Structure 1
Amino acid sequence: MLSAPSTEVVKATLPVIGAAIGDITPIFYRRMFDAHPELERDLFNRGNQAVGDQPRALAGAVATYATLLVDENAPAPVELLSRIAHKHASLGITEAQYEIVHQYLFEAIVQVLGDAVTPEVASAWDEVYWLMARDLIAIERGLYAAAGITPEHVWQSVVLKTRRQDSPDTVSFVFGAADGTPLPAGRPGQYVSVAVTLPDGARQIRQYSLTGSHSAGEWAISVKAAPARIAEDGAEIPEGEVSNFLHRSVFEGDVLSVSPPFGDLVLDDSDAPLLLISAGIGTTPIIGMLHHLSHTSTGREVTVLHADRSPWHHPLRSQLKSLVGALPTATLHRWYEDLGTRAPREDLAAGLVDLDAVEVPTDAQVYLCGPIPFMESVRDALVARGVAETNIRYEVFGPDKWLASA
């Protein structure tokens, strides 16, 4: 709990810090990477740094955490911290690295705000930082312990057993342990981190949802090759370094470093109706959940909605249809921007997801994954239909820019 004196200072300065945090975080990262280039090269996502996604996500997390601390009517920031802690654990973040972040973050705050950072202001925000850091460290300790590892031993060598092209830009991989022992099972909806060494020597890490495995003790993931593109503001976004490396350079028999499963978007075990909604490669955690449901002989009502550019581009399309078809209480609805020569029908339509065409139980547990604008639109429509926001969970591939814009 934040001390009373610090609470008053943070309340008074939150508008100023909040307004400046978007200027503070890029300076913080640049200072830290200049002093510790190995962090940018071997730990942080260089692509997200280049386009500013990671600084915006950090800014959103810090501002949201501080706001929750000083609002006596706000809920505890458990969901915020859980999401970050799972990501940290999948990267092998250590307690000592919080000291490094603290040093350069506060140097950046002083650089941007100057004389406004009085000793009282510095002390109050220092308390905010260490409360957040210690809460995260405590959660991460529990995650490492549950996985039976330490941060220094997150990475396990796995061998690529099978590789399959699932759509023009999506490849599925199935890994087994290099020593032949069964890999630890993940929970439905979780992901693993994959670390690769790129041609320039950098070690880059990305997270990929588990889509189920062909046999016990294996991990299956599906990877969409992220193309170079132009952002809405005209900025050039380079192609995904790791996704394209996996597509072009990783084949059967190759050995990779992969973390155990982590992630807090996990299928609940209640009897409530399920609404599983995805777009594009966001189908992957949904596929993992459907695998689990098919193996547990669930009697839950399950409604699956998916949106994509076309059937041709839809990753894991046949697997999705097969899994839903194997569940007696499940229904599938799909929307494609381009249906091609297919005729629309009750469960297949042209255009974007239309919730008015679907029965939505107000007590449904909802799991969302896809581009952030898609998820925001769907969430707003669900809330308008009477679904409680607390029943709607989501997964973001990459920095949580949804949080940053909240």
Structure 2
Amino acid sequence: MLMTRTEEAATSAPAPAEHGVVAGLSTLDRYLAVWILAAMAVGLGLGRLIPGLDDALAKVELGGISLPIALGLLIMMYPVLAKVRYDKLDAVTGDRKLMVSSLVINWLIGPAVMFALAWIFLADLPEYRTGLIIVGLARCIAMVIIWNDLACGDREAAAVLVALNSVFQVLAFGLLGWFYLDLLPGRLGLGDGEHLDISMGKIALNVVIFLGVPLLAGFLTRRIGEQKLGRERYETDFLPKIGPWALYGLLFTIVILFALQGKTITSQPLDVVRIALPLLVYFAVMWFGTFLLGKAIGLAYDRTATLAFTAAGNNFELAIAVAIATFGVTSGQALSGVVGPLIEVPVLVALVYVSLAWRRKFASAA
């Protein structure tokens, strides 16, 4: 059962029984996994079959950030962020277990796990290894919003944790890059280190475009909408109308992303497989480990799901931008960043299904 929760827009009460929800889902919602895989295939096919398409799309950028991808993410994130009840955020910030767990998992455990897996699986391929470590340093601030909403996670908690990751991304990305790519390899006798050519200003621009704009739009929509319509009409009349656009934006983003990188991915299939293996292990370890941690420390299902998806997701837009800026568009480091969403998108969609199945266990244990 995969749902966008437009049926839940008017209330924060638990969703109805699964068989009733599935029966009422639209065709888009019911077959979302199929549409996502189709969007990936279309993007890869367009990038492979249309000469110069990737170069043409890549030129539509601002400060090294793809404007088509930024547009897709804005369309995808805006409806979800317009659903957030911003007057309830203090209930999230007061949850110490959630906040501390998120910081530790995202900024201590996540990068360390990716560093270890990169060296275990790609010890003989230094360019791919470096690119994978960069992916691990870029914590998710965008697409996790949609995975969380599909899994019926806590929208307010997702907004807070994503904002928290954004602040730490600006402050910590460069420092962690120096630690894992320069200092630590040398101290462990693993060879010469790497240096990332990325400024805090560029990271901040990435955060503003991929999170700040849709967050501000969602906040203003909620504020103005409630003032004019009242909360009940805003949630029962307005939100269901914009809800489907989150999925349209997701599919558009996937098509553009894979069209940009289709030729690169399809021309090096064996290398893609080598990079994909540690990524699969990473997503499994981070998501299942975090989900079990949330349950163990007594978090409710919705916040446990939010914690797990924010831990497992990565900011592939930033990772790709950093790899290309530092090592070049044809580098192995850039290829690792490109493979990230190729694996992350279908895996996290599958984990949405797993999360929803476990939701019933939470409910029965309550």
TMscore range, shorter length: under 0.3
Query: Which protein is richer in helix relative to its size?
Result: 2
Query: Which protein is richer in strand relative to its size?
Result: 1
Higher RCO structure, 1 or 2 (CA under 8 Å, sep 6+): 2
TM-score (norm 1): 0.24
